[in-house]
Amino acid sequence: MVAPFRPSSRSAAESRLIDSWFAQGSHLRGAEHVRDWLSGMSRHAWMETTRAGLDELPGWTRDPETGFLRHHTGRFFGVEAVTVDHVGAAVPHWQQPIINQPEIGILGILVREIDGVLHCLIQAKQEPGNPGGGLQLSPTVQATRSNYTGVHKGRAIPYLEYFREPLGRRVLVDIRQSEQGAWFYRKRNRNMVVEAGDDVEAIDGFGWLTLRQLAELLSVPDLVNMDTRTVLACLPGGGAYWADAVAANGGFLTALARSADPAAPSVHTTDEVLSWITEARTRTELRVEKRALRGLEGWQERNGVISHHSGRFFSVVGVHVSAGGREVGAWSQPMIEPAGTGVIAFLVREIDGVLHVLTHARTEPGYADVVELAPTVQCAPENYAVLPDSARPRFLAEVLRSDRVRFDTVLSEEGGRFLGAQNRYLIVESDVDVARDDPEYRWLTLAQYDELLRHSFYVNIQARSLVLCLRSLAVV
């Protein structure tokens, strides 16, 4: 056991990140100000999404053999289908449609110092799938390769050059991460945070926010979009310095602060956690094979919509989109529309004075590497009406009945691919325990999440959102 170690002074880089978490920003002070900014913008911007049959989408064709939906350029994404065999699982076999988007897109946030504090350049952006069609706080750049190689025939993407040519710039985050493995086939995006010089200004539709402001805004429903959440979750945690900056005097906040400190005791060493992941990825027998989208077991296609016979899970639908204001245009596309609101929850518990998160080793058909670390609970509760009892997620009851709720906000998923996809994100204190060698669950600290987040495909997108929400509790 290495003795706790804390250098006497934090570096300039660390200071700036931590100040951005804990100092107030100079621009757009407070959630009220941000809401004014957004409502001012939404008076000039509108987006209209109307439903259409999958065979009525201009620019999209069906492959005559497989029934796969593709853009006529062969770019962007396609709707395909897979057969899944998961040996020994509660549901050991199923078929489903899945989105294939093989291009690695960029999710990039530009940062710069303003009055000595790091600010993030956030875009107020509409997407067709956003609940209520509203503006959400999005990364500076959110672009697929098709976007920026001109297939869109749209205007140039502002600030893209900072992320396409990062060499010579200060790069704070640069890591590929997965997205929803239940809906995407091996989708990966490059999560980036790059620092700009003082001469960079926010153009119309963009604003500078500190990490503290973004943390405060996380508790506003459907406001901070999924892509912003994943990028911010990948920022270096700041370790012991971040812990020192938390204004805690005992109780939950003290345990949370200690959780971010790599020198604080943890239930398992990080090497034990890595070995557990290796074991899970080796043990799990998952076979995912492409098959035709037509004639999928359990699914029907009617009136241009592909849906499950049960009405549960999700549907593949078509939409026509028209937008005015800053982003002008009209297009059509397929989208995934989930049935019902999901529950995504961390159960947390103080162990030896350090907050630990109960983490699930979860298998999804679209993961690049079989298993990723997921929230304690991640499910759409209503789906279990049509699934065997043994499939019912562990700890769902604990989450829903706990009276020690630290975070509870409905946030939405990427509105460019998902229509009205909302999840209730929860952080709940609990006294539950699991066996030390439970094959599926482990207690992790925030510092351990920080270490894993430097690498690809360990922490799933839902857990990344919750890591950010957990961290935000220190400043709100």
192 or 428: CB nearest a second copy: 192
50 or 278: CB nearest a second copy: 278
44 or 455: CB nearest a second copy: 455
175 or 220: CB nearest a second copy: 175
Cα–Cα distances in Å, from 269 out to 178, 275, 353, 440, 441? 25, 10, 16, 17, 14
Please check whether residue 473 is in contact with residue 427, taking contact to mean a CB–CB distance below 8 angstroms.
Answer: yes
Q: Which of 143, 137, 104 is nearest to 120 (CA)?
A: 137
Q: Closest separation between CB of residue 7 and a second copy, Å?
A: 5
> CA 403, CA 231: separation in Å to the nearest integer?
31
> What token pair was written down for 175?
């890591």
* Three-class SS of 53-100: CHHHCCCEEECCCCCCEEECCCCCCEEEEEEEEECCCCCCEEEEEEEE
Strands of 260-392 (E only): list them: 286-290, 299-302, 305-308, 314-324, 329-338, 342-351, 354-363, 371-374, 377-379
171 or 305: CB nearest a second copy: 171
9 or 303: CB nearest a second copy: 9
Indicate the SS3 state at residue 188.
Answer: strand
173 or 336: CB nearest a second copy: 173
Q: CA end-to-end span of the chain, whole Å?
A: 34
Q: Closest separation between CB of residue 248 and a second copy, Å?
A: 24
Where does this chain bind a second copy (CB under 8 A)? 1-3, 5, 7-8, 11, 104, 166-168, 171, 174-176, 190, 236, 271-272, 274-275, 278-279, 281-282, 368-369, 437, 454-456
Q: Write down the residue that tokens 């000595």 correspond to.
A: 116
Q: Which of 198, 234, 182 is nearest to 372 (CA)?
A: 182
Q: Closest separation between CB of residue 370 and a second copy, Å?
A: 10
Q: Write down the residue that tokens 């509870």 correspond to.
A: 408
189 or 383: CB nearest a second copy: 189
Helix axes 226-233, 461-472, angle to 10 degrees: 70
Q: Closest separation between CB of residue 437 and a second copy, Å?
A: 5
Please check whether residue 138 is in contact with residue 225, taking contact to mean a CB–CB distance below 8 angstroms.
Answer: yes
> CA 130, CA 133: separation in Å to the nearest integer?
5
98 or 273: CB nearest a second copy: 273
> CA 405, CA 93: separation in Å to the nearest integer?
36
Q: Closest separation between CB of residue 273 and a second copy, Å?
A: 11
- 89: Cβ contacts below 8 Å, ≥ 6 apart: 363
- 281: amino acid identity, one letter: R
Q: Closest separation between CB of residue 471 and a second copy, Å?
A: 19
Q: Closest separation between CB of residue 195 and a second copy, Å?
A: 13
Calculate the dihedral angle through the C-alpha atoms of 140, 146, 150, 156, rounding to the nearest 10 degrees: 0
Instruction: Determine how β-strand 78-86 pairs with β-strand 171-178.
Output: unpaired
168 or 388: CB nearest a second copy: 168
Identify the bridge partners of residue 322 per DSSP, sorted by sequence position: 48, 330
222 or 440: CB nearest a second copy: 440
Q: Closest separation between CB of residue 454 and a second copy, Å?
A: 6
> What token pair was written down for 247?
């204004």
